[in-house]
Amino acid sequence: MDFQSCVNIKKEWDIVGARQLGRDISRKIGFGTVDQARIATTISELARNIYLYAGTGKVCFEALEDMNKKGIRIVATDDGPGIQDISQVMEDGFTTSGGLGAGLPGVKRLMDSFDIVSTEEEGTEISVVKWLR
Protein backbone atom coordinates (compact mmCIF):
# COMPACT_ATOMS: atom_id res chain seq x y z
CA MET A 1 0.00 0.00 0.00
CA ASP A 2 1.68 3.13 -1.11
CA PHE A 3 -0.69 5.98 -1.48
CA GLN A 4 -1.21 9.32 0.07
CA SER A 5 -4.40 11.26 0.40
CA CYS A 6 -5.12 14.65 1.83
CA VAL A 7 -8.07 16.60 3.14
CA ASN A 8 -8.04 20.38 3.08
CA ILE A 9 -9.24 21.98 6.29
CA LYS A 10 -11.18 25.16 5.71
CA LYS A 11 -14.49 24.76 7.50
CA GLU A 12 -15.38 23.09 10.74
CA TRP A 13 -17.08 20.29 8.84
CA ASP A 14 -13.82 19.45 7.04
CA ILE A 15 -12.68 18.04 10.38
CA VAL A 16 -15.41 15.41 10.05
CA GLY A 17 -14.33 14.70 6.47
CA ALA A 18 -10.71 14.22 7.52
CA ARG A 19 -11.75 11.99 10.39
CA GLN A 20 -13.87 9.79 8.18
CA LEU A 21 -11.16 9.38 5.56
CA GLY A 22 -8.60 8.59 8.27
CA ARG A 23 -10.92 6.06 9.84
CA ASP A 24 -11.51 4.36 6.48
CA ILE A 25 -7.80 4.14 5.78
CA SER A 26 -7.00 2.80 9.24
CA ARG A 27 -9.76 0.22 8.90
CA LYS A 28 -8.31 -0.92 5.57
CA ILE A 29 -4.87 -1.24 7.14
CA GLY A 30 -6.42 -3.49 9.76
CA PHE A 31 -6.55 -1.46 12.96
CA GLY A 32 -9.01 -2.58 15.63
CA THR A 33 -11.82 -0.43 16.96
CA VAL A 34 -9.80 0.97 19.86
CA ASP A 35 -6.95 2.05 17.62
CA GLN A 36 -9.44 3.38 15.06
CA ALA A 37 -10.92 5.54 17.79
CA ARG A 38 -7.42 6.68 18.78
CA ILE A 39 -6.59 7.57 15.19
CA ALA A 40 -9.91 9.34 14.64
CA THR A 41 -9.44 11.32 17.83
CA THR A 42 -5.89 12.25 16.83
CA ILE A 43 -7.09 13.48 13.44
CA SER A 44 -9.86 15.40 15.13
CA GLU A 45 -7.41 17.15 17.45
CA LEU A 46 -4.90 17.98 14.72
CA ALA A 47 -7.56 19.16 12.26
CA ARG A 48 -9.26 21.24 14.93
CA ASN A 49 -5.96 22.89 15.83
CA ILE A 50 -5.58 23.86 12.18
CA TYR A 51 -9.12 25.20 12.05
CA LEU A 52 -8.84 27.09 15.35
CA TYR A 53 -5.34 28.53 15.19
CA ALA A 54 -4.23 28.61 11.56
CA GLY A 55 -7.52 28.94 9.72
CA THR A 56 -6.61 26.73 6.80
CA GLY A 57 -4.31 23.81 6.21
CA LYS A 58 -4.41 20.17 5.34
CA VAL A 59 -4.25 16.73 6.87
CA CYS A 60 -2.58 13.96 4.89
CA PHE A 61 -2.62 10.23 5.42
CA GLU A 62 -0.08 7.69 4.36
CA ALA A 63 -0.29 3.95 4.77
CA LEU A 64 3.08 2.63 5.88
CA GLU A 65 4.44 -0.79 5.22
CA ASP A 66 7.75 -1.95 6.60
CA MET A 67 9.41 -5.34 6.50
CA ASN A 68 7.27 -6.76 9.25
CA LYS A 69 4.91 -4.05 10.36
CA LYS A 70 2.16 -1.85 9.03
CA GLY A 71 1.02 1.52 10.15
CA ILE A 72 -0.41 4.89 9.33
CA ARG A 73 1.25 8.26 9.17
CA ILE A 74 -0.83 11.40 9.65
CA VAL A 75 0.69 14.72 8.69
CA ALA A 76 -1.05 17.97 9.56
CA THR A 77 0.35 21.05 7.86
CA ASP A 78 -0.67 24.67 7.98
CA ASP A 79 0.89 28.01 7.19
CA GLY A 80 -0.53 29.78 10.19
CA PRO A 81 1.21 31.88 12.82
CA GLY A 82 3.36 29.03 14.14
CA ILE A 83 3.90 28.05 17.75
CA GLN A 84 6.10 30.26 19.92
CA ASP A 85 7.09 27.79 22.58
CA ILE A 86 6.66 24.16 21.66
CA SER A 87 7.55 22.83 25.10
CA GLN A 88 4.73 24.93 26.50
CA VAL A 89 2.04 23.53 24.19
CA MET A 90 3.20 20.02 25.02
CA GLU A 91 2.37 20.62 28.67
CA ASP A 92 -0.95 19.30 29.88
CA GLY A 93 -3.44 22.03 30.53
CA PHE A 94 -1.84 24.81 28.51
CA THR A 95 -4.35 26.54 26.29
CA THR A 96 -4.79 29.90 24.63
CA SER A 97 -8.38 29.34 23.55
CA GLY A 98 -10.07 28.39 26.80
CA GLY A 99 -10.10 24.70 25.91
CA LEU A 100 -8.85 21.82 27.99
CA GLY A 101 -5.27 22.10 26.81
CA ALA A 102 -5.04 18.35 26.39
CA GLY A 103 -4.91 18.23 22.58
CA LEU A 104 -1.25 17.96 21.61
CA PRO A 105 0.05 16.14 24.73
CA GLY A 106 -2.97 13.84 24.33
CA VAL A 107 -2.15 13.15 20.69
CA LYS A 108 1.41 12.31 21.68
CA ARG A 109 0.08 9.72 24.15
CA LEU A 110 -2.40 8.33 21.60
CA MET A 111 0.24 7.76 18.93
CA ASP A 112 3.52 5.83 18.75
CA SER A 113 5.65 8.63 17.40
CA PHE A 114 5.18 12.36 17.34
CA ASP A 115 7.16 15.05 15.48
CA ILE A 116 6.47 18.73 15.45
CA VAL A 117 8.19 21.43 13.44
CA SER A 118 6.99 24.98 13.81
CA THR A 119 8.42 28.22 12.58
CA GLU A 120 6.93 31.48 13.69
CA GLU A 121 5.08 33.30 10.91
CA GLU A 122 5.56 30.34 8.60
CA GLY A 123 3.46 27.55 9.96
CA THR A 124 3.43 24.23 11.71
CA GLU A 125 3.84 20.65 10.61
CA ILE A 126 2.93 17.81 12.90
CA SER A 127 3.65 14.26 11.84
CA VAL A 128 2.48 11.26 13.86
CA VAL A 129 2.67 7.53 13.28
CA LYS A 130 0.65 4.66 14.68
CA TRP A 131 1.88 1.10 14.15
CA LEU A 132 -0.37 -1.89 13.88
CA ARG A 133 0.31 -4.37 16.63
Partner 1 sequence: MDERLKNIVLEHSDDIVKMWLEEVNAHKKNDYTSTISDEMFESTNREFVNVIFSSIEKQGLSSDLDNFSERLINLGWPLSYLTDGMQIFRRVVTDYILKQSDKIDSDYFSKVLRQVDGWVDPIINRLVNEYSGSWEHIVSLQRVALQELSAPLIPVMENITIMPLIGTIDTERAKLIMENLLDGVIKHNAEVVLIDITGVPVVDTMVAHHIIQAAEAVRLVGSRCILVGIRPEIAQTIVNLGIDLGKFPTKSSLRKGFQTALELTNRRIEDVQNNDEDIEQLIDSLDRE
Size of the site for partner 1 (CB under 8 A): 25
Q: Does 129 bind partner 1 (CB under 8 A)?
A: no
Phi, psi of 2 (to 5 degrees): -140, 75
* Min separation Cβ 55 and partner 1, Å: 15
Q: Rounded distance, CA 70 to CA 131, Å?
A: 6
In 3D space, the residue among 66, 74, 77 whose CA is nearest the CA of residue 23 turns out to be 74
* Min separation Cβ 12 and partner 1, Å: 5
Running DSSP on this structure, what letter comes out for residue 40? Answer: H
Determine whether 130 is exposed, middle or buried from the number of CB atoms within 10 Å of its CB (0-12, 13-18, 19+).
buried
Return the residue of 7, 75, 110, 126 that touches partner 1, per CB under 8 A. Answer: 110
Return the residue of 96, 99, 112, 119 that touches partner 1, per CB under 8 A. Answer: 99
Return the residue of 6, 21, 79, 106 that touches partner 1, per CB under 8 A. Answer: 106
Q: Rounded distance, CA 89 to CA 59, Å?
A: 20
Q: How many CB atoms lie within 10 A of CB 19?
A: 20
Site string for partner 1, 13-52 (x = CB under 8 A): x-xx--x-------------xx-xxx-xx--xx--x----
Residue 1 vs 100, nearer CB to partner 1: 100
Is the Cβ–Cβ distance between 20 and 14 less than 8 Å?
Answer: no
Which residues make up the interface to partner 1 (CB under 8 A)?
12-13, 15-16, 19, 33-34, 36-38, 40-41, 44-45, 48, 92, 99-103, 105-106, 109-110
